[in-house]
């Protein structure tokens, strides 16, 4: 009897040892994944903080307050001035991100709903594959599409409205390009979430007499809230961080906040990208400072979105 | 069924908006000014050429509301925007846009060579200091390459790829005896080239031609920008994987980039002509430096200002 | 009462249909754009040839003077024949879409059949069909360049009695090296990113206590989503390149460091998507497994993970898409040197970076970029379909139903 109990106890300890080992290995993976943000921050900080604390080769320190609130990228000549500012870029970046999400979020989620629930199986499978394919197109091709087609459309569109657009380079073009890029991401992730909603909830709603549409909107979508929100967060991350595609359609505005969607604009990322290869000295380091500002903007956006997500509440399907 | 019709109707109206017919040129419209960004060698060359050097490095002095584009962007923009004006390198010119004569001279290779066309920028090269190479073979090969750049054979390659070579009468055959390293088999030697990506095509053609003359060494091209011509040959040590043996730049080297560099370690290999371009519907065919400066600094704001002259 | 509800339903339904139609319309426009622009240069040779072309320098051997080489061959409008030298040249386009002068016929007695190699190798050269002539140099006058066209070259040749030097090359511009690199990168990155990502997601959802530390971990991982790819590239250059140089036989930027950089970019997507699909696995499954005597490890790996399979699959496919589409990070982390012999310990370009290199040309090669995009789409489609096929079989084998 005692030996049997002994075996059971060793087995239990053995199992626990295995469980704990796995737990710590997986925890290691999680901690590793989350540590990268610090490494990235470190890399950017090294270059990005120097304009504010060193003399920049005789040009003088960049004033932090002016940098964050100013409305002209650079007053004076490149390599001869330290009057950089990104204030106006922060606002235009957020404005563009908000507008593009305004388009891509509803379109993406509704498309996901369509694929997951309404479309016949064959069509749904094809659509899913098409969307996954499009998520893999390099962003530069979206930029080319924007530059080739969307610019022309916006230019003609604004001629109809009577506004002389600058070749179509505008907030509207950037928003459209970004929306097109994020629709695949939002659609695929939301679709996974919608598909995973427990069928019993759906059947219950139908059994209670709700119509199919009512069930879709009031029951399925709300149950998949968490996943749909995640897709929005990942989508906005992509929007805020996209540089190449936007730089081909934005216009490179150098000063002033602009809310006219048919006029040119600039974002934090396009400003960072421009000339990143060809430049040296303060002009090069300052782009890392812009990177720091961008990361703070992303942090705040994610924080806000997560806060909203918590307030709106998670539906517990377990 | 109804829903599908509704949707199709909307799609149709959208596409109708897209198909507006071409209109005639209205010269009361504003001029939309396109430019490269301040780090571009093309911009520096253009601004110097029109007498507006202050705008080479500074955006303040430009007219309000200019649009910044890269090389391809300016070309495609000029294809859409009927009221725009911009500038590109001669090698990029094609028949989707209209290149303007500068001061009465047409933008052709012949006119650059005989020095009548005034808008141009230099293609420059820079190499590492003597002795700062992994081996003497690489050192000698680089020196041979530099000598090659001054021959008619290299001039042929440069001209063949859209740039404009400097005049020379030296042939490679006449000087190759001074570079015995090229007579041996160098297929195990790799030379690293980098710098401006505007010069990438020319650089690759040059190394391909020279490799056949110099023992078939391997040429590795990694072009990341004119700034890296100096950075990766003079400031970054050989142990760093991004270091290069030869760097190309599409602008003159800045004073800060010439510090500590021997005159034999840098030089010019070609010119590149810059052409002012407009939309094909634009009636303007010739433009002067003064007009361009007036457009870019905001004195002229409408096309009627230019056309009336 | 019923009518207003039906009206509301109708509105919602039409909005849904419209949204899907907009998505479909837009996505099809992009596909059309890519196909229409890129179709011209699509060619099997593009996929199989090397990128680098080799140049040969030659001059005439034992030459006594040009002769008369008549031929009965019929040449089309774009081909020009020189009876004095016995070769026919035509204007053509190479794989990259650049105009070249192509050799289309060499008369059997033409002096171009027997050339001396001016380079280092000793073997004789001969001009053959499908070679591209770059230039012919003369002692008495300017060279005939390929940019001036085939007709000009023949005309100049006809006025000369000898030439100093002939430079010709084999065709290049193929993307085979970049295709191989892309496949290596997909394999390496998935090998690194999937275990770490799925593992981290498992930890966060199954093992981690619901405290501030876990929340903080999640937030930190999420902040990775908005970082521009350029920054990742710089981080990869600063961190992974030195690590791989010291741990492997790499001597510079290499594909392993590129794969590591890509893994970091994919981390939030994989973790979040996996987490979402883990969350939806009903607790009943977990409780049942534990009640039956399984330990936590068995429950997690044998019950929960397979149930979340389709979500993980989506995450994988999205990851593959992102790997193939990512260019800026790799440009900075691995560089833009296009290679024909690909090794994971050395640098080379993925298809996306190849597009980047083509786009920075002056003028940018938009047609070739869209052609490569078509090839990318074909690769993604085939990977997509095969992965789905394999997973369907696996699911059937393990008997986990989810639809």
Question: Does residue B14 have a pLDDT over 80?
Answer: no
Cα separation, C164 vs C166, whole angstroms = 7
pLDDT tens, residue by residue, B115-129: 788 888 889 999 999
Residue C158 and residue C222 in one domain: no
In a domain, C21, yes or no: no
In a domain, C11, yes or no: no
CA angle C96, C100, C103 (to 5 degrees): 120
Q: Among residues B67, B27, C32, which one has the least CA distance to residue A168?
A: B67
**A43: nearest CB among C238, C283, C325:** C238
Whole-number Cα distances in Å, A30 to A25, A33, A36:
9, 5, 11
Last residue of a domain, one of C138, C169, C200: C169
- Specify the DSSP class assigned to residue B52: -
Cα separation, A79 vs A129, whole angstroms = 49
**What is the residue-averaged pLDDT of chain B?**
84
- Specify the DSSP class assigned to residue C79: E
Range A119-143 burial, b when 16+ CB lie within 10 A, else e: beeeebeebbbbbbbbbbbbbbbbb
Residue C213 and residue C337 in one domain: yes
Backbone angles phi, psi at B88, to 5 degrees: -140, 170
Residue C69 and residue C191 in one domain: no
CB of B69 within 8 Å of a chain A CB? The answer is: yes
Residue C111 and residue C159 in one domain: yes
Residue C255 and residue C352 in one domain: yes
CB of C382 within 8 Å of a chain B CB? The answer is: no
Residue C124 and residue C222 in one domain: no
Cβ of C25 within 8 Å of Cβ of B160? The answer is no
Q: Among residues B124, B150, B146, which one has the least CA distance to residue B133?
A: B146
Q: In A, what residues contact B, Cβ < 8 A?
A: 72-80, 147-148, 151-153, 155-157, 159-160, 164, 166-169, 247-248, 251-252, 254-255, 263-264, 274-281, 283-284
C 153-192 → B contacts, CB under 8 A: 164-165, 167, 169
Q: Give chain C's domain count.
A: 2
Q: Among residues B129, B135, B188, B123, which one has the least CA distance to residue B159?
A: B123
In a domain, C12, yes or no: no
CB of A153 within 8 Å of a chain C CB? The answer is: no
CB of A273 within 8 Å of a chain C CB? The answer is: yes
Identify the band that residue C283 occupies on the pLDDT scale cut at 50, 70 and 90.
confident
- Specify the DSSP class assigned to residue A220: I
CB of A20 within 8 Å of a chain C CB? The answer is: no
Our measurement of the distance from residue C330's CA atom to the centroid of its chain's CA atoms, rounded to an integer in Å, reads: 12
CB of C116 within 8 Å of a chain B CB? The answer is: no
Residue B304 neighbours by CB under 8 Å, 6+ apart: B27, B28
Beta strands in B90-196 (DSSP E): 98-99, 101-102, 120-127, 164-165, 190-195
Q: What is the pLDDT of residue A103?
A: 92
Q: How far is B75 from chain A (nearest CA, A)?
A: 10
Domain at C216, CATH number: 1.10.3720.10
Question: Hey, how many other C-beta atoms are within 10 angstroms of the C-beta on B18?
Answer: 12
Cα separation, B248 vs B233, whole angstroms = 10
> For B150-199, where are the alpha helices, taking DSSP H only?
152-160, 172-175
Q: What is the pLDDT of residue C67?
A: 79
Task: Name the residue range of residue C106's domain.
Answer: 54-169
Last residue of a domain, one of C169, C196, C225: C169
Cβ of C361 within 8 Å of Cβ of B157? The answer is no
Cβ of B153 within 8 Å of Cβ of C137? The answer is yes
In a domain, C24, yes or no: no
Q: Among residues A187, A178, A111, which one has the least CA distance to residue A150?
A: A178
Phi and psi based region of residue C293 (left: phi greater than 0; alpha: psi -120 to 50; beta: remaining): left
pLDDT tens, residue by residue, A236-294: 888 888 888 888 888 888 888 888 888 888 888 888 877 666 566 677 778 888 888 88
Q: What is the pLDDT of residue B140?
A: 92
Angle between helices C255-279 and C176-202 (to 10 degrees): 40
C 261-290 → A contacts, CB under 8 A: 264, 267-269, 271-273, 276-277, 279-280, 282-284
Q: How far is A153 from chain C (nearest CA, A)?
A: 13
Question: Hey, how many other C-beta atoms are within 10 angstroms of the C-beta on C290?
Answer: 14
Q: What is the pLDDT of residue A177?
A: 93
pLDDT, mean of residues C61-84: 80
Identify the band that residue A318 occupies on the pLDDT scale cut at 50, 70 and 90.
very low
In a domain, C307, yes or no: yes
CB of B59 within 8 Å of a chain A CB? The answer is: yes
In a domain, C43, yes or no: no
CA atoms within 13 A on the CB side of C187: 8
Question: Does residue C318 have a pLDDT over 80?
Answer: no
Identify the band that residue B18 occupies on the pLDDT scale cut at 50, 70 and 90.
very low
Cβ of C29 within 8 Å of Cβ of A149? The answer is yes
Residue C66 and residue C161 in one domain: yes
Judging contacts by C-beta atoms under 8 Å, the chain C residues touching residue A226 are 276, 279
Residue C351 and residue C217 in one domain: yes
CB of A294 within 8 Å of a chain C CB? The answer is: yes
Identify the band that residue B15 occupies on the pLDDT scale cut at 50, 70 and 90.
low
Collect contacts of B181-185 with beta carbons under 8 A, ≥24 apart.
Answer: B181/B137, B181/B140, B181/B141, B181/B144, B181/B214, B181/B215, B182/B141, B182/B144, B182/B213, B182/B214, B182/B215, B182/C120, B183/B215, B183/C120, B184/B215, B184/C120, B185/B215, B185/B216, B185/C120, B185/C121
CB of C222 within 8 Å of a chain A CB? The answer is: yes
Q: With H, G, I as helix, E, B as strand and everything else as coil, classify residue B253.
A: coil
Last residue of a domain, one of C169, C201, C226: C169
Judging contacts by C-beta atoms under 8 Å, the chain B residues touching residue C164 are 171, 173
Residue C113 and residue C189 in one domain: no
Residue C286 and residue C341 in one domain: yes
Dihedral over alpha carbons C83, C87, C91, C92 (to 10 degrees) = 150
Q: What is the pLDDT of residue B191?
A: 92
In a domain, C279, yes or no: yes
Residue C207 and residue C301 in one domain: yes
Judging contacts by C-beta atoms under 8 Å, the chain C residues touching residue A289 are none
- Specify the DSSP class assigned to residue B301: -
Nearest CA in chain C to A245: C328
CB of A26 within 8 Å of a chain C CB? The answer is: yes
In a domain, C23, yes or no: no
Judge whether C37 and C367 are in contact, CB under 8 Å.
Answer: yes
Judge whether B291 and B32 are in contact, CB under 8 Å.
Answer: no
Q: Among residues C392, C385, C380, which one has the least CA distance to residue C179?
A: C380
CB of B122 within 8 Å of a chain C CB? The answer is: no
Backbone angles phi, psi at B221, to 5 degrees: -110, 125
Residue C161 and residue C213 in one domain: no
pLDDT tens, residue by residue, C348-380: 899 988 988 888 766 678 888 889 888 888 888
Cβ of C268 within 8 Å of Cβ of A107? The answer is no
């Amino acid at each position: 009897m005692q030996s049997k109990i002994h075996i059971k106890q060793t087995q239990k300890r053995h199992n626990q040892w295995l469980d704990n080992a796995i737990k710590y290995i997986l925890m290691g993976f999680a901690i590793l994944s989350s540590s990268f943000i610090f490494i990235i921050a470190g890399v950017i900080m090294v270059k990005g903080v120097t304009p504010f604390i060193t003399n920049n080769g005789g040009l003088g320190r960049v004033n932090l307050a002016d940098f964050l609130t100013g409305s002209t990228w650079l007053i004076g000549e490149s390599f001869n001035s330290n009057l950089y500012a990104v204030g106006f870029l922060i606002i235009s970046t957020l404005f563009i991100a908000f507008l593009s999400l305004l388009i891509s979020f509803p379109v993406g989620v509704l498309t996901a709903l369509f694929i997951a629930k309404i479309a016949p199986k064959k069509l749904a499978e094809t659509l899913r594959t098409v969307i996954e394919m499009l998520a893999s197109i390099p962003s530069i091709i979206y930029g080319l599409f924007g530059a080739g087609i969307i610019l022309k459309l916006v230019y003609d569109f604004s001629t109809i409205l009577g506004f002389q657009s600058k070749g179509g380079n505008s907030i509207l073009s950037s928003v459209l390009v970004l929306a097109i890029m994020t629709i695949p991401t939002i659609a695929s992730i939301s679709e996974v979430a919608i598909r995973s909603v427990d069928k019993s909830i759906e059947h219950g709603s139908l059994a209670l007499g709700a119509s199919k549409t009512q069930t879709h909107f009031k029951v399925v979508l709300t149950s998949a809230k968490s996943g749909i929100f995640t897709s929005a967060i990942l989508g906005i991350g992509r929007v805020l961080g996209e540089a190449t595609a936007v730089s081909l359609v934005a216009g490179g505005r150098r000063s002033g906040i602009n809310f006219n969607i048919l006029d040119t604009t600039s974002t934090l990322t396009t400003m960072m990208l421009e000339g990143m290869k060809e430049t040296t000295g303060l002009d090069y380091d300052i782009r890392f400072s812009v990177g720091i500002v961008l990361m703070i903007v992303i942090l705040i956006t994610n924080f806000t979105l997560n806060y909203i997500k918590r307030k709106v509440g998670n539906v517990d399907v377990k | 069924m109804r829903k599908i019709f509704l949707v199709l109707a909307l799609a149709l109206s959208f596409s109708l908006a897209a198909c507006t017919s071409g209109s005639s040129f209205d010269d009361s419209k504003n001029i939309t000014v396109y430019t490269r960004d301040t780090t571009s060698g093309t911009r520096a060359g253009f601004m110097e050429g029109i007498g507006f050097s202050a705008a080479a490095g500074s955006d303040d002095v430009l007219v309000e509301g200019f649009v910044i584009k890269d090389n391809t962007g300016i070309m495609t923009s000029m294809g859409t925007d009927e009221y725009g004006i911009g500038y590109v390198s001669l090698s990029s010119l094609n028949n989707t846009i209209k290149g303007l004569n500068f001061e009465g001279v047409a933008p052709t290779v012949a006119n650059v060579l005989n020095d009548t066309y005034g808008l141009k920028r230099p293609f420059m090269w820079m190499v590492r200091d003597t002795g700062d190479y992994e081996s003497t073979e690489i050192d000698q090969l680089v020196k041979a390459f530099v000598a090659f750049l001054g021959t008619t054979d290299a001039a042929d390659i440069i001209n063949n790829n859209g740039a404009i070579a400097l005049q020379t009468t030296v042939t490679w055959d006449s000087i190759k005896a001074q570079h015995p390293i090229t007579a041996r088999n160098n297929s195990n030697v790799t030379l690293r080239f980098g710098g401006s990506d505007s010069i990438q095509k020319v650089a690759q053609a040059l190394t391909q031609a020279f490799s056949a003359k110099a023992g078939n060494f391997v040429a590795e091209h990694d072009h990341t920008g004119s700034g890296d011509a100096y950075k990766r040959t003079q400031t970054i040590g050989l142990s760093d994987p991004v270091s290069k043996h030869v760097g190309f730049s599409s602008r003159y080297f800045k004073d800060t980039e010439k510090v500590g560099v021997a005159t034999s370690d840098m030089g010019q290999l070609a010119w590149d002509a810059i052409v002012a371009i407009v939309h094909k519907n634009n009636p303007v065919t010739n433009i002067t430096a003064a007009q361009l400066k007036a457009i870019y600094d905001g004195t002229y704001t409408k096309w009627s200002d230019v056309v009336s002259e | 009462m019923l009518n207003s509800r039906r009206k509301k339903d109708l509105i919602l339904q039409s909005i849904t249909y419209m949204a899907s139609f907009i998505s479909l319309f837009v996505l099809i426009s992009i596909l059309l754009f890519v196909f229409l622009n890129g179709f011209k240069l699509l060619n099997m040779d593009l996929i199989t040839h090397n990128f680098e072309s080799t140049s040969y320098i030659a001059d005439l051997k034992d030459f006594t003077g040009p002769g008369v080489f008549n031929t009965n061959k019929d040449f089309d409008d774009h081909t020009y024949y020189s009876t004095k030298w016995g070769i026919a040249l035509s204007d053509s386009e190479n794989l990259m879409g650049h105009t070249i002068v192509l050799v289309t016929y060499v008369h059997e007695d033409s002096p171009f059949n027997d050339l001396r190699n001016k380079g280092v190798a000793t073997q004789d050269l001969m001009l053959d069909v499908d070679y591209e002539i770059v230039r012919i140099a003369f002692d008495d006058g300017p060279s005939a360049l390929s940019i001036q066209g085939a007709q000009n070259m023949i005309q100049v040749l006809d006025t000369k009695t000898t030439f100093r030097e002939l430079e010709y090359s084999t065709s290049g511009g193929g993307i085979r090296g970049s295709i191989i690199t892309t496949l290596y990168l997909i394999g390496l990155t998935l090998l690194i990113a999937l275990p770490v990502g799925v593992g981290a997601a498992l930890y966060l959802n199954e093992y981690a206590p619901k405290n501030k530390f876990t929340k903080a971990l999640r937030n930190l991982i999420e902040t990775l989503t908005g970082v521009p790819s350029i920054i990742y590239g710089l981080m990869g250059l600063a961190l992974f390149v030195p690590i791989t140089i010291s741990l492997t036989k790499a001597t510079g930027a290499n594909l392993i460091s590129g794969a590591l950089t890509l893994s970091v970019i994919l981390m939030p997507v994989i973790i979040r998507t996996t987490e979402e699909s883990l969350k939806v696995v009903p607790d009943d499954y977990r409780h049942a497994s534990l009640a039956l005597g399984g330990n936590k490890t068995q429950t997690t790996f044998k019950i929960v993970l397979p149930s979340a399979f389709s979500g993980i699959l989506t995450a994988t496919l999205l990851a593959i898409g992102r790997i193939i589409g990512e260019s800026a990070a790799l440009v900075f982390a691995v560089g833009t040197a296009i290679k024909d012999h690909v090794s994971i310990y050395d640098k080379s370009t993925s298809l996306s970076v190849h597009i980047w290199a083509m786009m920075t040309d002056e003028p940018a090669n938009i047609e070739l970029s869209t052609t490569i995009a078509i090839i990318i789409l074909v690769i993604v489609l085939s990977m997509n379909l095969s992965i789905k096929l394999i997973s369907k079989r696996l699911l059937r084998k393990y008997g986990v139903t989810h639809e």
